[in-house]
Amino acid sequence: MRGTISGFYWGRKGILTGIMREFELIEQIRQTVGKPSKRVLMGIGDDCAVLHSPKARLLATTDCLVEGVHFDFSYMSAFEVGFKALAVNLSDIAAMGGKPLYALVTIGLGKGAEQSVRELYRGMSKIARDFSVDIVGGNVSRSPRQTFVDVSLIGQAGLHTHFRKGAKKNDLIAVTGHLGASAVGLRLLKTMGRVALSRYPTVSRAHLMPSPRVIEGNALGRLSGVTSLIDISDGLAADLQHILAASNVGALIEQDALPIHLQTEKACSELDGCTALECALYGGEDYELLMTIAPKYLAEVKRAVPKVKIIGQVLSASQGCVLRRANRVVQQLGLRGWDHLSP
């Protein structure tokens, strides 16, 4: 971290001035992050981290949260932003059947957020400890406008690495956890602010501090019967399309089988213009796992990950992607998810 922390010569702003403040900040971050595991020979405090490499394939991913695009400080605390910035990366490692190991963090502090470094790191460190991840270095800079937190994560592949490609006709389609909770949580937070947390705690927390399926992903990485795997970040419909396109297959999803939390149903009945089904299909940011399973391995997968719920079946590509509604009518399941690039 030392030598890579930049932007601390903001004398005119009077926020952090000179080398002493930089040392203080690095020390604060080091204390917040805590003692690294034995895998780390050198963590925060030199030009590079020095890390033991596992005798396995490595997984590498990066993802960032940007103020005004992915979050807003009006309803989200710096602690939660830090927590979530690491959570979304953990979810990608889980989505390959791997185990997360090392994180590097770049923070850009926007106007008004100059004092948030400690809280951002506290949030990140909380989830890092939960899943035995070492935060081994990073970089902090001032950002002229919005705040952002960019995390790079290195993980270790499991015995079986699961890709988006590999789904076969007649495989079962399954998910972990509930769908649509984060999307409705976001709507509630935007509508009523932090009150949403006390009125609808489960769905609000699903948005603010999602629980990535690290344990489940790691367990799935031991199994050969999983034929494809992805995490749901853009919504079930959009992420299912990634599997279908990569595997050149189609799918049938059963509306009745979609796992939707009671709070999602209740909140949607209170909010205008959203249904629980739409949230489950198109909501995004669930950070649950979506997979296809060869039917003869279903029992084995369920033993390893009891949370898994079957929601449909893989079809041939020519049969397309369809949804069987509760009234048994079958309709096309269109591609409409959260688009990170839209204004």
Positions in the binding site for Mg ion (CB under 5 A): 92, 231
Q: Least distance from C-beta 297 to Mg ion, angstroms? A: 23
Nearer to Mg ion, 51 or 290 (CB): 290
Lookup: tokens for 161: 């690495």
CB of 191 to Mg ion, least distance (A): 28
Q: What is the CB neighbour count within 10 angstroms for residue 342?
A: 6
Rank residues 59 and 184 by Cβ distance to Mg ion and give the closer one. 59
Pick 231 or 285: Cβ nearer Mg ion? 231
Rounded-to-5 percentages of helix, strand, coil across the chain:
35, 25, 40
- CB of 220 vs Mg ion, minimal distance in Å: 14
Q: CB 233 → Mg ion: shortest distance, Å? A: 5
22 vs 231 by CB, closer to Mg ion: 231
Q: Which is nearer to Mg ion, 216 or 231 (CB)?
A: 231
Cβ 64 vs Cβ 151: under 8 Å: yes
Measured CA to CA, the distance from residue 343 to residue 154 in angstroms comes to 30
Instruction: Write down the residue that tokens 């932090």 correspond to.
Output: 194
Nearest approach, Cβ of 239 to Mg ion (angstroms)?
Answer: 7
| Residues contacting residue 144 through CB under 8 Å, at least 6 positions apart | 110, 111
For Cα atoms 72, 341, 103, give the angle at the middle one, nearest 5 degrees. 65
Smallest separation, CB 190 to Mg ion (Å): 24
Contact 301, 308 (CB under 8 A): yes
- In the complex with Mg ion, the residue whose CB is nearer, 95 or 314, is 95
- Of the pair 134, 231, the CB lying nearest Mg ion is at 231
Cα(291)–Cα(175) distance, integer angstroms: 6
Closest separation in Å from C-beta 273 to Mg ion: 28
Q: What is the C-alpha separation between 257 and 273, in angstroms, rounded?
A: 23
Using CA atoms, how far apart are residues 312 and 248, in angstroms rounded to an integer? Answer: 17
Q: Do 323 and 330 touch, CB atoms closer than 8 A?
A: yes
What the block records as the tokens of 67 is 């103020």
Residue closer to Mg ion (CB basis): 31 or 62:
62
As measured in angstroms, the least distance from the Cβ of 324 to Mg ion is 26
CA distance 128 to 138: 14
**Residue 314 · residue 170 · CB < 8 Å:** yes
